[in-house]
Every structure is written in C-alpha cells, then in structure tokens.
Amino acid sequence: MSKIRIEDNSQLRSPARRIVEWGFTTFMWALWLYLFLPLVTVVLWVAGAQYVYLAFFERSALDHLVEMITNIGWAVVVIFLVMRGWGYYNYYVFGRKNRRKMHNLVGNADLGRHIGLTAQEVWGLQQEKEIVWEALYDEMRAQPRRRQPEYEEKERDKAA
C-alpha cells in the first residue's frame, strides 16, 4: 500500500485566501500579545519605566523628544534613499541578464540507466495512470506493477 504524501503548493492559493490567512494569523498574534500586556506593565513598572516616561514627556523634555523624532525620521529617509538607490543600481547592472546555466534535458535512456530500467520500460511507466513502485533490495532492478483505481476494478468485475 502506498503512503500518502501531502504537498503544500502555495502558488495554487488565490490572493484573497492568502490575504484572509495572513489577516487571521496577524489578528491571532496581536491577541496573544494583548493577553501579556498586564505582565509587561508590571515588569516595566518594577524596572522603573515610570522614570523614563517622566523624562520624555515632562514639559522641559518635550522639545528634546520632538528633535529626537525628527532626527530619527531623517535617518529613516536617508536609509530608504540609499537602499532604493542600491536597488536601482543592481537592476541597471544585473537586471535583465540571465546567468543561470541551462542543463540538457534527460531522455528515457538516461533516466532508465539511473534507476536500472531500459528506455522502453521507462516509456511504458510514463504511459501508466498510476504506478506502485516496490524496490527489490537484493537486486538492482525494481519491479513496477500497474494498479487500477478502485472504480475501474468494480466496473471490470461488473462486466465479467
């Protein structure tokens, strides 16, 4: 009996489904973090965060806070421009060049030689609807056998 292997191909999902999944995941993470707010508040209070709050939001420190936020904003703009410029440079230099090495296609004879079958046997296997592969460990070759789906077996039994 063959084992079931589940493959997740995310390219087959619609954009709406991906948006809903990401939105739900983000909501659940936010809820999880929200549940820890009381614990975070206690830890920050004990650690002396009230003094940091007073230093930043006190009337005399408000001008320094605005200056710090402005400087951080300019730093973000400069970093963005440098990164965007680097991206344009890379696109200009490397953007439309394909440097991947192309490999030759493998024929039935090469594939058969790799798995221990002849080219005709490989071609025959490619024509089958379903193949159950049972490797024989004492020999280098494997014996494939054709297995019909259940509904074909029932139809064949009815016809007989």
In this model, does residue 1 exceed pLDDT 60?
no
Please write the tens of the pLDDT for every residue from 104-138: 788 888 888 888 888 898 888 888 887 766 654 44
- Is the pLDDT at 10 greater than 90? The verdict is no
Question: Packing angle between helix 119-127 and helix 108-115, nearest 10 degrees?
Answer: 100
With helix as H, strand as E and coil as C, how does the chain read? Answer: CCCCCCCCCHHHCCHHHHHHHHHHHHHHHHHHHHHCHHHHHHHHHHHCHHHHHHHHHCHHHHHHHHHHHHHHHHHHHHHHHHHHHHHHHHHHHHCCCCCCCCCCCCCHHHHHHHHCCCHHHHHHHHHCCCEEEECCCCCCCCEEEECCCHHHHHHHHHHC
Spell out the domain ranges in the chain: 15-47, 59-96, 108-159
**pLDDT, tens digit (0-9, with 9 covering 90-100), for 37-91:** 888 888 877 777 677 777 666 656 677 777 888 999 999 999 999 999 999 998 8
